[in-house]
Each structure stands twice: as C-alpha cells, then as structure tokens.
Amino acid sequence: MRVELRIRRFDPERDQASHWETYQVEASPMDRVLNLLHAVKEEQDPTLTFRRSCGHGICGSDAMRINGRNRLACKVRVDQLGHRISVEPLLGLPVVKDLVVDMEGFFAAYRSVMPFFVADSPVPVRERLQSPAERARFDDTTKCILCAACTTSCPSFWARRSYVGPAAIVNAHRFIFDSRDEAGPERLQVLADTDGVWRCRTIFNCVDACPRQIQITRAILEVSRAIVEDIA
Ligand code: FES
C-alpha cells in the first residue's frame, strides 16, 4: 500500500519556523511508523532527523505525535492509522531539529523528585525484605520508560511548563510507596509545591498516551492523597 506521510520539519540552520513536508512511501500494513521514517531517511531525504534506539518499545526514545496523539513510532502500525499519516515532534518541549525535542527540562523535573532508592538506616544482616503485597503496591509505576509521551500530552503542562508533569509524579510514586524507601516525605514535599500534583486536572490524556498502560491519573491521585495525609 502507498502511504502519504506528512512530517513536520524544522532545521534551525535554515528555517524560521517549522513546516509540513509530504512523502509518498510504500508500506505494508504491519510496518511501524518508525519503518516509514527510516524509508524516508534512507530513500528520499537523509537529513530527516529523529531519535530511536531499541525499535521495540523499551527505550522510550521515539515518542512523537502521530495523527495527533502521542505514540511510540516503533509500536504503532500502519494498519492502525490508515493511508494518511502525520508525524510531529512532542508538544511543549523545544524542537531541536525535525522530530527531536530537547528533553533537558523533562529530565530536570524527573530528577527533582529523587527518582532513586534512599535508605539510610543500617543495612540488615540479610536483604531489606519486602512482602509480595508491598511490592505490588508500586508495581504499575515501575513500568515507566521515560518516553515523555504522558507529560507532553498534558494540557496542564502545555499551559505551565514548570509543572513537574505526570512522568515525574509516576517515578516519585514508584519510590514513595516502596516500603523499603525512606525519602517519601521529601518527595511529597517537592510534589506539594505549586508546580506539583495540584496542577493535575484529571484530563486523562496521559493515560491515553502511555505506551505501557500505566494508570497515571490513579498514581497522581494516590500521591495527592499521601500529601494530604502526611503534610496537612
Ligand atoms: S525505539 Fe525504543 S521505544 Fe521505540
């Protein structure tokens, strides 16, 4: 089948503003959008710039806006999209070139919630034990691959770029509800800020965008409840 692929292009050395370019690409229904981008780059325009690595939905590097919704280019198939496909960079982050956005602000928000295990109490003789039920408490939020699809689909983030965003809260949740971790109150303090969880308006765009089907809004509400219970 022939696909009409529209790509929003921007070259900072040449363009004042981004613009659409259209390519005709031969594809099979089972091809991924990433295959189409490679076909354009290899056969039509080698300057086309995009990020990708694993090609299998693991690394999170190829999140982009596909037919108006944030998706991983390596996961979404042509037969799910039809003959006309549009591809744009993620919204709300500065565009570096074509489909590549500057992720520094996104990772700064991620770092602000201390996304790592903290336990300063003496190390037990054996390992720090955790029951299956305690492990299950935060299982969903361990699945995040930091693709930024959730944060950059969030109207609250578009309106206020200093909002830490869903991805940072998901990664805070992963440690706040880990029974072995000891820095929960510090993370809750960060997320009780004006740019923390209260910016969420439960719009659910993040849930729709997440390629790992994480129940993000529920995680945000659980963190909000923990703030009320721990700090109020
Ligand atoms: S290339 Fe790694 S998630 Fe798509």
Measure 147 CA to ligand 1 centroid, in angstroms: 9
Neighbour count for residue 84 (Cβ, 10 Å): 11
Average pLDDT over residues 207-231: 94
Residue 232 pLDDT: 43
Lowest mean pLDDT, pick from 3-12, 97-106, 122-131, 194-203: 122-131
Which atom of ligand 1 lies nearest, measured to the CA of 59? 2
SS3 70: strand
- Binned at pLDDT 50, 70 and 90, residue 169 comes out as very high
Average pLDDT over residues 9-26: 97
Residue 123 pLDDT: 87
For a pocket test of ligand 1, which of 50, 62, 87, 210 has the largest count of ligand atoms closer than 8 A to its C-beta?
A: 62
Measure 232 CA to ligand 1 centroid, in angstroms: 41
Average pLDDT over residues 17-26: 98
Nearest-CA residue for ligand 1 atom 1 is 55
What is the C-alpha to C-alpha distance for residues 210 and 179, in angstroms, rounded to an integer?
26
Task: Show the tokens assigned to 135.
Answer: 């492990």
The HSE-up count of residue 17 (CA atoms within 13 Å, CB side) is 2
Task: Output the average pLDDT for the chain.
Answer: 96
Render pLDDT for 101-112 as a digit per residue (tens, 0 to 9): 999 999 999 999
What is the C-alpha to C-alpha distance for residues 107 and 61, in angstroms, rounded to an integer?
13
- CB 37 near ligand 1, within 6 Å: no
- CB 74 near ligand 1, within 6 Å: yes
Measure 62 CA to ligand 1 centroid, in angstroms: 5
Render pLDDT for 41-51 as a digit per residue (tens, 0 to 9): 999 999 999 99
Render pLDDT for 132-153 as a digit per residue (tens, 0 to 9): 999 999 999 999 999 999 999 9
- CB 72 near ligand 1, within 6 Å: yes
- Binned at pLDDT 50, 70 and 90, residue 71 comes out as very high
Asked if the model's pLDDT at residue 225 lies above 60, the reply is yes
Measure 189 CA to ligand 1 centroid, in angstroms: 33
- CB 211 near ligand 1, within 6 Å: no
Asked if the model's pLDDT at residue 197 lies above 70, the reply is yes
Residues 160, 152, 93, CA angle at the centre, nearest 5°? 75
Residue 231 pLDDT: 55
pTM over 0.85: yes
